[in-house]
Amino acid sequence: MVVMYYKEKAFKVAENVYEPAEDTFLLADNLGARKGERVLEFGTGCGLLAILAARAGAQVVATDINPAALECARANAVTHGVADNIDFRLGDLFEPVAGERFDLVIFNPPYLPVEPDEALNGPLDRAWEAGPDGRVIIDRFLRELPNYLTPNGRALFVQSSLANISKTIQMLKTNGFHVNTLRKKLSFEELCLLRCFIASK
């Protein structure tokens, strides 16, 4: 068990659960969740982003494909006093929320390019392994996203320059989204925070 801190708030990170890093903190610093909103977070990990959204007054659905992550996130939510405001669900991408719509969708997707014969596919490895071009998860997310947003809904997610950010922006625009970006340079890659919402007709 590791304990990490975000703005002096402690979060426990269990074994086999993704430990928040620069990508998580970039999302946390720009979350923008509002009171009364319905928020969906994919890949909640230790629950940091879901907890921040709940503390802002949102009703949150937090999903993960890793049962250990959900257990860890639920424990952190109890510690931070927001367990009643977060619905934790096990499942892959939109499967646990079929037919529902949200005001804000948050995602820190796997984006590390990995060849099939090199993939480890363990519970923790799946937090970053994303196929040969790093896009096997993000492309699925982008295709389905419009069906799960309210009319004024928006999405906030991060992506690495290792996985073709330009293609992501083009896919969003093709689906009728406005896109704003914020970029952060790291030692071996550039992280891009993408905010998107459906363009008004």
Mean model confidence pLDDT for the chain: 89
pLDDT one-digit tens code per residue, 131-178: 557 788 899 999 999 999 999 999 999 998 878 899 999 999 998 999
* Domains, in order of start, for the chain: 2-198 (3.40.50.150)
pLDDT higher than threshold 80 for residue 117: no
Confidence of residue 189 (pLDDT cuts 50, 70, 90): confident
Quote the pLDDT of residue 44: 96
Quote the pLDDT of residue 132: 58
Average pLDDT over residues 38-63: 97
Looking at the chain, the whole-number percentage of residues with pLDDT higher than 70 is: 87
Alpha helix (H) residue ranges in the chain? 22-29, 48-55, 67-79, 136-144, 165-174
Q: What is the CA radius of gyration of the chain?
A: 16
